[in-house]
Amino acid sequence: MGKDEIDLTEKQILRRGEILDSATKLFLNESYGRTTMDNVLTLVGGSKRTLYKYFPNKEALFTAIIEQVSDRVLSAFTPLPREGTFREALIDMGARYLQVMTSAECISLYRAMVAEAPHFPDLADNFLQNGPCRASQHLAEYLRSHAKNNRLRITDPDLCAAQFMGAVRGNVHFHAVFNGRVPTKKETRMISETAVETLLNGWRK
């Protein structure tokens, strides 16, 4: 478990954080395989001794990086207090979802996770659960509690939520991943609006 990392000076925590942040840039811009420990070192400065003190090997460093970035990026998928009409809430959720999913940091994270999923299955599963799945679960919960009031015929909220998120993604996420073409904030909103228009109408009784 937590070997002996219990006692870390304030300074050491900072140093560890510096290393982690610098290494993050490398591991997310290049791939795991193309990033070398020496490469990390020349960017962060310092000696191998300290690097290997805080992160016993390359895999541990990568794991720490992914966990930190996942926490930071995917925290955007926490539910916000909803205001406005039902339709506006859906539009917001869709736009926010797409905005996060196509952000540069999330695309880099996604790339790393897809590439390394077979070798870091726990990290991949965490990304899936705390990322896309959690986002659509929140939407499902929202649908569950608002379906009746809005006279919607939703038998399977989870499936409907996933389909909505998928409709919002469309091919936009693919373009971001393969082409680096990310939508502007206005575009994401427009995309979400059209998706809501169609699906909301489709769910009507």
Contacts with a second copy, residue ranges (CB under 8 A): 31-34, 110-111, 113-115, 117, 124-125, 127-128, 132-133, 136, 156, 159-160, 162-172, 174-175, 177-179, 191, 194-195, 197-204
For 158, residues 6+ apart whose C-beta sits below 8 A from its C-beta are: 136, 137, 140
Question: Which is closer to a second copy, CB of 23 or CB of 54?
Answer: 23
Please identify, among the stretches 48-56, 94-102, 164-172, 186-194, the one whose residues bind DNA according to the rule CB under 7 A.
48-56
Question: Which is closer to DNA, CB of 14 or CB of 104?
Answer: 14
Contact status: 12 vs DNA (CB under 7 A): yes
Count of residues interacting with DNA (CB under 7 A): 22
Residue 53 contact, options DNA, a second copy, none, Cβ 5-8 Å cut-off depending on partner type: DNA
Interacting residue ranges for DNA, rule: CB under 7 A: 11-12, 15, 34-39, 41, 45-50, 52-53, 56-59
